[in-house]
Structure 1
Amino acid sequence: MSNVPPPEARFEIAQLAHMELLTPKPEESLWFFRELLGMEVTHQEGQSVYLRAFEDPYHHSLKLTEAPKAGLGHVGWRASSPEALERRAARLEASGQGRGWIDGDVGHGRAYTFQTPDDHLMEVFWDVDYYKATPETATKLRNRPSRRPLRGVPVRRLDHGNILASDVQATAEHLVENLGFRVTEKLVSRENNGEWIGAWVTVTNLTHDIAIFKDPTGTRGRLHHVCYFYGSPQHLYDIGDIFKDHDIFVEAGPGKHGISQGMYMYVYEPGGNRVELWGDSGLLIFDPSWETVDWVFEDIAGYGDTWVGQPIAEYFYTYGTPNVQLPGGPVPPPFA
């Protein structure tokens, strides 16, 4: 497929605005994001709590919702204009993946909802509520929405998401053709006739706003991880100390990816969802004619997933939420 989206779709989606995580342990999950990652609660309603990092511009970037199992509730994208929202909604409707309009949610206005070919629920909207600092959260830095919190090691902003899909290529093509994403890098299998194992897709200069990994269980709609940005590799070591003292399971890192070139740490919040923490910006792409970088799965051992650091555990490629154990597959994380 072409890396270039249709001309009418380019720049119609501005950014990843928020993600909703489902958790069977809402109080423990809230404690993790608020006390360890320093996020601020901006609203609580029903079974959901809304949070933001101190450089997130909008009302929230994370919605935590109590549910029987961990997993992904939905992904929220902001359109680049009211007109872009209408055009993308019409295109999604024509694609057969549209689910229709909703009135909105706390923090944003009306939204068009749709599903990926692998049944991940997403929405696109334009109207947003910008965060308004209180006297307790106001900062003297006029170009920052709020001051840096004193809790834990505070993350700065939402960076990206990663979803698992039974058909990586179909999911990536859907985002390219209907929403204007670009595929910056992809991972293919030589042994399986070029099947896509992973795709990194973006609407910004980041190497990816969302990534898609092959789900070996064949399950649809699962989450691999949500990622928050630090911007300093030292913070990974700082938060690592805190995680160890509070019995938070660290899956991998600190380390550096070959694909995306990001400094990473992977941990599990108490509800079971994987959380990545990003220690720097990783690869930034400013070239408007960037050609997709192809990696071959059978060739990347030791430098694709981990450029620097220990190899990532085998269950990194199979565990997602909700948890689905692959018969005869890798042993999942200790708590799963």
Structure 2
Amino acid sequence: MPVPAPNLYPPFNIVRLSHVEYRVRDLAASRAFYIDILGLQVTHEETGRLYLRAMEERGHHCIVLVQADTADVGVLGFKLYDEPDLERAESFFAEKSLPTAWVERPHMGRTLRTRDPWGIPLEFYVRMDRLPPIHQQYRLYNGVKPLRIDHFNMFSADVDASVAFYGEMGFRVTEYTEDDESGRLWAAWMHRKGGVHDVAFTNGLGPRLHHTAFWVPTPLNIIDLLDLMSTTGYVANIERGPGRHGISNAFFLYVRDPDGHRIEIYCSDYQTVDPDLEPIRWSLTDPQRQTLWGAPAPKSWFEEGSTFEGAEPAPSALKAQPIIAP
């Protein structure tokens, strides 16, 4: 199935991805990981809930950690351009018979809560509490020195359908992996903010969240994180990397938090602002698509992910497999 043409005039205007809510079983353990190891900054803390931001971010939070009995994902958040976009978004989802509700969210203005056709919980807003800048307070830099949230990657049981739906909302494909035999999409990377992706979809049991990524200043910050994790009791939390992706050209590292939620540390991708930028096609059997240097990803990277609260994953009908490390 060919990649659909970009929708340059979507029904509402998404600026970028914004935040994720992780439900965790031990908030103290998660606090230590995200603050002391990754280096995110606390913006608000209350019983059972912790709000964090990265160093360049002016919005109140990019991650919310919530104490829960089950470790899963509560919601993925996206920022819209202006207030009328909220009503347009509500109409878009309601016309597709998807649930819509106006919800109260701490530190955020009017917020629309909904789900995509596969049950991924989504929320859209325009205004979030703005905080003073801290990007030049170098004494605060810690861990991997995270600058900003960069993207979500999700397992999808039907990548073609996911790309079509998110394309309706104005996400544009930058790169994709196609199964040579069936012609179906195995994975796709889509953006709003002008990087390689705000969202990506990977074939597999879905919907599940594969990972959330954070942008860091340089590859050396990733090396520093590896040294820190390997000497502070987190060596088993290092899953994959460091390396350079073929897709996106980014330098990467994948780590797991105490509940197994996967976090990618990411830098050095490229600009994709031009509306007529042609997507780059990769073959599923190309060993450089995963890692430019040719190293395949481990089995866990293709099979393990975080479930979404209230969404039941389904298996994919596409059984094609990329190269997997032994």
What is the TM-score with the length of structure 2 in the denominator? Answer: 0.87
- SS at 1:44 equivalent: strand
1:271 to 259, 262, 271: 259
**Maintained 8 Å contact 2:11/2:92:** no
Distance across 1 between alignment mates of 2:176 and 2:251: 19
Count how many residue pairs are aligned between Structure 1 and Structure 2: 307
Tell me, in whole angstroms, the C-alpha distance in 1 between the residues paired with 2:208 and 2:295: 26
For residues 99 and 268 of structure 2, what CA distance do their matches in structure 1 show? 33
How far, CA to CA, are the matches of 2:120 and 2:96 in structure 1?
15
Please give the secondary structure, in 2, of the residue aligned with 1:315. helix
1:265 alignment partner AA? L
Q: Identify the match of residue 221 of structure 1 among 188, 193, 207.
A: 207
Residue correspondence of structure 1 range 236-275 to structure 2 within 5 A = 236-248=222-234, 249-275=237-263
Tell me which of 166, 176, 193 is aligned to 2:167: 176
Structure 2 gap ranges (5+): 316-320, 322-326
Once the two structures are overlaid, the 10-residue window that deviates more, 201-210 or 44-53, is: 44-53
- Post-superposition CA distance 1:242-295 (Å, at most 9, x none): 0111232211111000011110000111111111001x2312213210122222
What does residue 121 of structure 2 align with? 121
Shift of 1:229: 0.9
Match in the other structure for 1:333:
none
Q: What are the ranges of 5 or more consecutive residues in structure 1 without an aligned counterpart?
A: 330-336
Question: Whole-Å Cα distance in 1 between the matches of residues 159 and 70 of structure 2?
Answer: 24
The one-letter code sitting in structure 2 at the alignment partner of 1:310 is A
CA distance in 2, matches of 1:107, 1:186: 36
Matched, 1:211 2:200: yes
Kept after mapping to 2: 8 A contact 1:69/1:322 = no
CA drift at 1:2? 2.1
2 CA distance for matches of 1:16 and 1:246?
Answer: 31
In structure 2, what is the Cα distance between the partners aligned to 1:79 and 1:147? 30
Q: How far does residue 6 in structure 1 lie from its aligned partner after superposition?
A: 5.4
Tell me the equivalent position of 1:283. Answer: 270
Deviation string for 1:169-218 (max 9, x for gaps)? 222221111x2111111212123x12221111111111001111112xx3
Q: Bigger shift: 224-233 or 150-159?
A: 150-159
Match of 2:22 in 1: 21
Question: What is the rounded CA distance, in whole Å, between the counterparts of 1:272 and 1:223 in structure 2?
Answer: 11
The aligned counterpart of 2:318 is none
1:254–1:309 Cα contact (<8 Å) kept:
no
Q: 2: distance between equivalents of 1:209 and 1:53? A: 16
* Residue pair 1:28, 1:271 contacting (<8 A) in 2 also: no
Letter in 2 for 1:285: T
1:46: how far off? 4.3
CA deviations 1:101-130 (Å, max 9, x no partner) are 213x12211111121222110111112111
Contact 1:99 1:113 survives alignment (8 Å):
yes
Structure 2 equivalent of residue 166 of structure 1: 157
Hey, what does 2:109 align to over in structure 1? Answer: 109
Q: Is the 8 A contact 1:205 1:284 kept in 2?
A: yes
Instruction: Note the 1:133-152 alignment, pairs <5 A.
Output: 141=136, 147=138, 149-152=140-143
By how many angstroms is 1:147 displaced? 4.6
Structure 2 CA distance, aligned partners of 1:3 and 1:292?
10
Residue 297 of structure 2 corresponds to 312
Answer yes or no: is the 8 Å Cα contact 1:253–1:309 preserved in 2.
Answer: no
In 2, Cα distance between equivalents of 1:152 and 1:231:
12
Q: How does 1:42-57 map to 2 (within 5 A)?
A: 42-57=43-58
Once residues 238 and 8 of structure 1 are traced to their aligned partners in structure 2, the CA distance between those partners, rounded to angstroms, is: 41
**Does residue 33 of structure 2 align to residue 32 of structure 1?**
yes
**What is the SS of the residue equivalent to 2:143?**
coil
Q: RMSD between aligned alpha carbons?
A: 2.2
CA distance in 2, matches of 1:310, 1:242: 24
Distance in 1 between residues matched to 2:259 and 2:127, nearest whole Å: 31
Give me the identity figure in percent: 28
